[in-house]
Amino acid sequence: MAKLNLAVIFGGQSGEHEVSLKSANQVMNALNPEKYNIIPIAITKKGQWLIGNKGKEYMKLNLPKASEERGISVEQSQSLVTIDHKGGKLEQFSEGSTDGNKIDLVLPIVHGPFVEDGKLQGMLEMLNLPYVFSGTLASALAMNKYKTKLIAKKAGLVIAKDMVVGKKYRTEKIVKKLNLPVVVKPIELGSSVGINIAKNEEELKNSVDKALELGSEVLLEQFIKGRELTVAVMGNKSPKALPVIEIIPKISTFFDYKAKYETGGSEEVCPANIPDEIRKKVQKYAVKVFKALGCRDLARADFILSEENGKLYFLEINTIPGMTATSLAPQAAASAGMEFSEFLNKLIGEAIKRK
């Protein structure tokens, strides 16, 4: 059987560029070279595409700095770009080649705006290139945390009290509605980039201002103290929930960027040590929101089990979750009996069936 020409896209212009490189590197190392001809495609921090050997070189050059948040400077990200793209011509935005190979399938291992929010998916559809993970609409909706919560609420899930603010906001108005502490989130970023828990008005102002540097709107949520649970959902016509994972941060008060990516930053218990009725409810709600948004192949939904009232609060859903072997969705797959390479094969197989 002929090898599948699989384009793996990574990088991008968001604050999750570094996370994407780490995931993509492990994915490419886990893919069976006898089954797949891998075509690396790096997207730089300014949006240029480096294809084939150029993409491979980009990974080699920048991976050592990908463990730090914003560890790769814009200058370093652009160091392999040789074409002046100021003329606005399409051909000026990419370098390298697929060596004459027709791309059979795209595996986007990317996070954040421009790539996970439906823009990349829409472009791939215009090019008639099939791809893994959710489509344009589901990706766009899931990227916006506020719109996702509206859909989740309509589907019957419980959500925390919230509000959205822009550059003109008043801290006293926020406190009056949500009380303190307040969870501050950039509305369209993942990997906990820019998220803070503000315990007083000064922290609230600083956190909102910092989050506004990453986007024009900020989501503010009532703080719910409790256990952090996450569950991945796989499939298309009849999606199934994988085992529930409990996340216990060790070096932070919540599951922030440091707790996610620093060694020993958090303990991840899989399967979670929770009552069976809670497990079933989390899995049921995860599948519900997966279907309501129109997700496909794989997504991971996050929840808080309230310490105060025992309610399960939906937080968000990730349509391209972290994909290192130790990331949450692959961990859940391993708990269900799928090794990392088998897990990737299954995702790719589902996308090929659609094609």
Identify the pLDDT of residue 216: 84
C-alpha 215/C-alpha 89 separation (Å) is: 27
Identify the pLDDT of residue 255: 47
198-242 pLDDT, tens digit per residue, is 999 999 999 889 888 877 889 999 999 999 999 999 999 899 999
Low-confidence ranges of the chain (pLDDT < 50): 191, 255-257, 259, 261
- Domain-by-domain residue ranges, the chain? 4-131, 142-158+225-354, 162-222
Identify the pLDDT of residue 259: 44
To which CATH superfamily is domain 162-222 assigned? ATP-grasp fold, A domain (3.30.1490.20)
C-alpha 348/C-alpha 105 separation (Å) is: 8
Identify the pLDDT of residue 50: 96
C-alpha 343/C-alpha 325 separation (Å) is: 10
Fold of 4-131: Rossmann fold (3.40.50)
Report how far Cα 3 is from the mean position of its chain's Cα atoms. Answer: 28
SS (H, E, C) the chain: CCCEEEEEEEECCCCCHHHHHHHHHHHHHHCCCCCEEEEEEEECCCCCEEECHHHHHHHHHHHHHCCCCCCCCHHHHCCCCCCCCCCCCHHHHEEECCCCCCCCEEEECCCCCCCCCCHHHHHHHHCCCCECCCCHHHHHHHHCHHHHHHHHHHCCCEECCEEEECCCCCHHHHHHHHCCCEEEEECCCCCCCCCEEECCHHHHHHHHHHHHCCCCCEEEEECCCEEEEEEEEEECCCCEECCCEEEEECCCCCCCHHHHHCCCCEEEECCCCCCHHHHHHHHHHHHHHHHHHCCCEEEEEEEEEECCCCCEEEEEEECCCCCCCCCHHHHHHHHCCCCHHHHHHHHHHHHHHHC
Entry pTM: 0.88
Closest of 175, 153, 151 to residue 163, by C-alpha: 175
For the domain made up of 142-158+225-354, the CATH class stated in words is alpha beta
